[in-house]
Amino acid sequence: MEKTFEKLRHLQEVLSKRIEIEKEIDEIPKALSVKEELLNRLQKSFIEKNDNKVASEAELSRLTKLMNEAERSREASEKRMDEISTQREYEALEREIKVSTEAEQEYRREIQKVEKTLEVLSDMLTSEEELLNQQKEEIEEEKNRIISIIEEKEKVKNSMISDEKVISQDMDSEILFKFERIIKNKSGLGIVPVKAGVCSGCHMTLPAQFANDVRRSEEILFCPYCSRILFYEESDDQYVAIDDDDDDSLEDQASLSDLIDDEFLLD
């Protein structure tokens, strides 16, 4: 079994590096996602402002039309002043001129407000358009950079996968499957030594009989607490004093561990 354990330790190194590279590959595009989200917000803001500009231009056209109508009405009334013959006609025409003049002035004031709004919107749209183009360029550069980085990391990953296949030849596929899951879930540590009856992965004291089974190295055994593969390693302190009162608890631990399904421990 020592040869198998040596293979697993070697495989652990390769698997840990490969899994780490896979995480890096997954993380790399996240920086681009942030930039793309900013671009989406800028585009949304630009569209809203442009819609406001279009609406303001329509309102300006409407007000200009109304102002021109009021202006023509005033001018027509003023021309009729020479045609009136009675005081009543004069007063009525004077009221018409006053109403048209006030309407014309009001429309002119509204037009000035809309023109000011259009000026502000135009300046903002020009500024945001420049920012949008800059952001698009940055995203394109970032995409190219990410593609290059990912390609390099994929090469390294594929090389490690090839190494894994060489190392794991003739090894049980189910053990390999569990082993990889353990490494993913246990921060790259899938095989650990048992020292003085203690798992060095989770630092839990193992049931005495189970620890002896690990020491005999007749089969691959998984820690009942952390699911890591265990192998025996000599320790300066091989004998741990156990009170008689603890015998039952250790037996209970061993019995409990036998009932725990490997798949459950790996989840």
Q: Is residue 227 one of the residues assigned to a domain? A: yes
At 262 the pLDDT is: 43
Residue ending a domain, choose from 100, 134, 167: 167
The count of structural domains within the chain is 2
Residue ending a domain, choose from 113, 141, 167: 167
Place of tokens 């698997």: 15
Q: Is residue 44 one of the residues assigned to a domain? A: yes
Q: What is the CATH number of the domain that holds 124?
A: 1.10.287.1490
What does the mean pLDDT of the chain come to? 86
| Cβ partners under 8 Å of residue 177, min gap 6 | none
Q: Is residue 12 one of the residues assigned to a domain? A: no
Write out pLDDT tens, residues 139-159. 999 999 999 999 999 999 999
* Residues 140, 260 within the same domain: no
- Mean pLDDT, residues 192-199 taken together: 94
At 126 the pLDDT is: 95
Domain span holding position 210: 173-266
Is 196 in contact with 237 (CB distance < 8 Å)? Answer: yes
pTM above 0.75, yes or no: no
Predicted confidence band of residue 30 (pLDDT cuts 50, 70, 90): confident
Q: Is residue 191 one of the residues assigned to a domain? A: yes
Is 179 in contact with 8 (CB distance < 8 Å)? Answer: yes
Q: Which amino acid is at 262?
A: D
* Residues 224, 112 within the same domain: no
| Cβ partners under 8 Å of residue 65, min gap 6 | none
* Residues 144, 69 within the same domain: yes
Place of tokens 């569209």: 47
At 253 the pLDDT is: 41
* Residues 107, 186 within the same domain: no
* Residues 160, 254 within the same domain: no
CB atoms within 10 A of CB 130: 10
At 236 the pLDDT is: 58
Is residue 265's pLDDT more than 70?
no
Predicted confidence band of residue 83 (pLDDT cuts 50, 70, 90): confident
* Residues 182, 153 within the same domain: no
* Residues 148, 28 within the same domain: yes
Q: Is residue 101 one of the residues assigned to a domain? A: yes
H/E segment holding residue 221: strand 221-222
Dist. CA 222–CA 190, nearest whole Å: 10
* Residues 206, 140 within the same domain: no
Residue ending a domain, choose from 167, 189, 215: 167
* Residues 35, 160 within the same domain: yes
- For residues 238 and 10, the model is more confident at 10
* Residues 21, 140 within the same domain: yes
